[in-house]
Amino acid sequence: MEFSEEVQVALEKREPVVALESTIFTHGLPYPKNLEAVHFMESAVRKEGAVPAVIALVEGKIKVGISHPELEELLRKECEKVQVSSLALAVKKKAYGSTTVSATIEIANKVGIKVMATGGIGGVHRGGESTFDISQDLTSLARTPICVVCSGAKAILDLPRTLELLETLGITVLGFRTPTFPAFYTSGSGLKVPLVSTPEDVAEIMHINWEVLKIEKAVLVGNPPPEEKELSEFYVEELIRKALQAAEKLKISGKELTPFLLSFLEKSSGGKTVETNIALAESNARLGAKIARAFLKIKTESGKKG
């Protein structure tokens, strides 16, 4: 593992750090829009007084806070999408790779980073009840005490089943200023979740979960996409239907499925889904930084008391 100087110093000084997963950039967004997304997310974290740490693999080395030249290389050339199950393999064969939510949170947690931001987590794919295609993001969330800020699970998924499984796995799911689980491109899925109003509330729940109750599981915060970038549900559903049909026809499955569907949506919407994806990712990075700061404050105060 290798830390950027900035991340290393921040961790040593106990300053707030927000991890950013890299698969959203390499496999979720087209070049050069993905470069823009990196810039927006990192700037949003910095503006809120925290340090961003994009996690990715360079020649098999896990970089916590990858440098821009290295990241640009990853974005330009094809690299591997590395989930937690393929992490050891990727290290062994000295691969270049981006880490998904699952690999990113397990790495971040090991190095003491308590917040990660992304666009939308993976979950139960539509038809998952027969294909069993369920993202490793869920199982990693179930064993990793970290806060993940997202706009729900990606809309291409089966959201009711994803939420059911999150519940089964004992993951705390919260709606940030919303009573329903966000549906990625749209704000409301109609699926009820407990509402929280401030980053401080989230931080307190993290603290109680991990430090008081010793529950080693993620706290998942659903933050709706910015209103002005929201897409209409009807519009998105129609595009998703076509994307799923195309994937079935081309027999695309496994870890290629999510990138295929996202890229299909980008093309069929004339880039609109990408605009929304970048805007919500930026907003999640901003909220992630606020939560990281609030959590450190609670830790410092409870440390003084103890």
- Taking CB atoms within 8 Å and a gap of at least 24, the contacts of 186-189 are 186/155, 186/225, 186/230, 186/231, 186/232, 186/233, 186/236, 187/224, 187/225, 187/227, 187/230, 188/224, 189/152, 189/159, 189/163
Q: How far, CA to CA in Å, does 213 sit from each of 8, 89, 106, 174, 208? A: 29, 35, 20, 18, 6
Name the binder of 80 from Mn ion, ligand PSU, none, CB < 5-8 A by kind: none
Residue nearest to Mn ion (CB): 133
- Kindly state the smallest distance separating residue 280's Cβ from ligand PSU, in Å: 8
Q: Which is nearer to ligand PSU, 28 or 52 (CB)?
A: 28
Residue nearest ligand PSU, Cβ-based: 119
Which residue among 63, 81, 114, 154 is the active-site one? 154
Choose, from 21, 230, 266, 282, the residue flagged as catalytic: 21
**CB 118 to Mn ion: min, Å:** 16
**If we measure between CA atoms, which residue out of 157, 112, 133, 110 comes closest to residue 262?**
157
Q: Which does 70 bind (CB under 5 to 8 A by kind): Mn ion, ligand PSU, none?
A: none
Tell me which of ligand PSU, Mn ion, none is bound by residue 108, counting a contact when its beta carbon lies within the kind-specific cut-off of 5 to 8 angstroms: none
Q: Within 13 Å of residue 14, how many CA atoms lie on the same side as its CB?
A: 8
Interatomic CA distance for residues 228 and 248, integer angstroms = 33
Query: Which residue lies nearer to ligand PSU by CB, 21 or 70?
Result: 21
Q: Is 6 a catalytic residue?
A: no
CB of residue 72 to ligand PSU, shortest distance in Å: 18
Write out the residues near ligand PSU by the rule CB under 6 A.
Answer: 21, 23-24, 27-28, 100-102, 118-120, 122, 135-137, 255, 258, 262, 277
23 binds, among ligand PSU, Mn ion, none (CB under 5 to 8 A by kind): ligand PSU
Partner in contact with 277, chosen from Mn ion, ligand PSU, none, beta carbon below 5 to 8 Å by kind? ligand PSU
Taking residue 234's Cβ as centre, other Cβ atoms within 10 Å add up to 9
Q: How far apart are CA 40 and CA 282, in angstroms?
A: 6
Please give the Cα distance from 149 to 202 (Å, whole number).
Answer: 10
Neighbours of 272 (CB within 10 A): 17
154 is catalytic: yes
Residues numbered 126-185 forming contacts with Mn ion, rule: CB under 5 A:
133
What is d(CA 73, CA 95) in angstroms, rounded to the nearest whole number?
A: 13
Smallest distance from the beta carbon of 13 to ligand PSU, in angstroms? 29
- 154 and 120 in contact (C-beta within 8 Å)? yes
Nearer to Mn ion, 135 or 186 (CB): 135
- Which residue, 206 or 281, is less far from ligand PSU as judged by CB? 281
The site for Mn ion (CB under 5 A) is made up of 133
> Which active-site residues does the annotation give?
21, 154
